[in-house]
Amino acid sequence: MGEDKFSLKLNGKTFLEIAVENLTKAGIEQISVVDKSEPTALADGLSFITDIYPNRGALSGIHSALVNSKSDWTIILACDYPFVTAELIEFLMKFTETNPEFDSFAPIQSDGKIQPLCAIYKTETCRKVLSKMLENSDKNYSVRDFLNRISTRYIGFEQIANLANAENFFFNVNTPEEFEKAKFLAINVEKMSADDIDEVMKIQLEGNLSYWSFDDYKDEISRENSFSVVAKIDKQVVGFLVARLISEDYCAELYNIGVDLSFRRQKIGNNLLESFTKHCLSNNLEKIYLEVRESNQTAIEFYLKHNFTVFSKRKNFYTNPTEDAILMNKEVLATK
């Protein structure tokens, strides 16, 4: 990267801050930063540990953490996994209670690769084994060698796949190109506020979307059954979705999705629609309905790709210009 990765920022937070925040949310009270270099100001308030056996790769960091740990179990989390969540950490921690006979718990990503730098280790046992390995300077051991020498319980991806954002947990940032991709993966979907409306209307205008006034949006976000959200990258609104739940009919109506022209083809629309679909599922709704201009083939193809089907047409439904509306719906429960 040309710089320390823990200083890289996503949505205004450094990688180090993201890691510490998720560990703290998971209930971890003693957190240390292990690095081969000198302490950094970013680690102020945290214990800073340097490698005891330098130039031995990832094993050096794991070993130093184990030597300095005062707990029965030690969690290792590489800071260049910015999408690991507190939920994943909590999930892994439960194995120490249900399967204490193992010495370590290491997840496996979707392509079968083991993730020893987002794993939990039995401190004393693993420290003794790893110290003996590293004392032998003639051997260039790998992390896999270490895991094979202890009793490791591997956590298959299928066991964590249902956790939010699981597909990105182990996205590893090692190059500037990967960092750029991470910025797009780090899209925050959050409830729309009045402060977001001006940016939403700008996207609406640039995308030639159905007109809503400032007051229209303000009234909508105040409704209890409204699902109005924005997608943000580095606090900038880059997309929005407005919909309404109709719980008594077990359905929802999608009014509009808009994405900033500068951020098209970055799966922001997919992200927004997925968030809405999950919200419908959590509210036990069965269908999502929407209408779209017949000439808007881009939108129609987008919805078809996401399992919407055409079921009817409304003649001359739109004005300025006058145009038919294509009516589409999606079976939400079928995707559960």
Given this chain, do its domains 5-182 and 187-335 carry the same CATH topology?
Answer: no
Q: Distance between CA 77 and CA 175 in Å, rounded?
A: 19
Domain borders along the chain are 5-182, 187-335
pLDDT at 336: 45
Residues 6 or more apart in contact with residue 291 via CB below 8 angstroms? 314, 317, 325, 326, 327, 328
Task: Give the architecture-level CATH label for domain 187-335.
Answer: 3-Layer(aba) Sandwich (3.40)
Q: Distance between CA 237 and CA 327 in Å, rounded?
A: 28
pLDDT at 170: 92
SS3 content of the chain, % helix, strand, coil (to 5): 40, 25, 35
What are the tens digits of pLDDT across the range 83-100?
Answer: 999 999 999 999 999 999
What residue ranges in 188-235 does DSSP mark as E strands?
A: 188-191, 226-233
pLDDT at 40: 65
What are the tens digits of pLDDT across the range 3-40?
Answer: 778 888 887 788 989 999 999 999 988 888 888 666 56
5-182 CATH choice from 2.60.260.20, 3.90.180.10, 3.40.50.2000, 3.90.550.10: 3.90.550.10
As separate numbers, helices (DSSP H) first and strands (DSSP E) second, the chain gives: 11, 15
Which conformational region is residue 302 in: left (phi greater than 0), alpha (psi within -120 to 50 degrees), or beta? alpha
| pLDDT beneath 70, residues of the chain | 1-2, 36-43, 234, 334-336
- Give the pair of three-digit tokens for residue 20: 């510490």
pLDDT at 158: 94
List the one residue out of 134, 178, 133 whose CA is nearest residue 15.
Answer: 178
For residues 174 and 180, the answer to whether their CB atoms sit within 8 Å is: no
What 8-state DSSP symbol labels residue 33?
E
324: helix, strand or coil: strand
Residue located via tokens 């022209």: 261
For residues 129 and 146, the answer to whether their CB atoms sit within 8 Å is: yes
Other beta carbons less than 10 A from residue 95's beta carbon: 17
- Whole-angstrom CA distances from 330 to 70, 210, 251, 294 are 53, 21, 10, 18
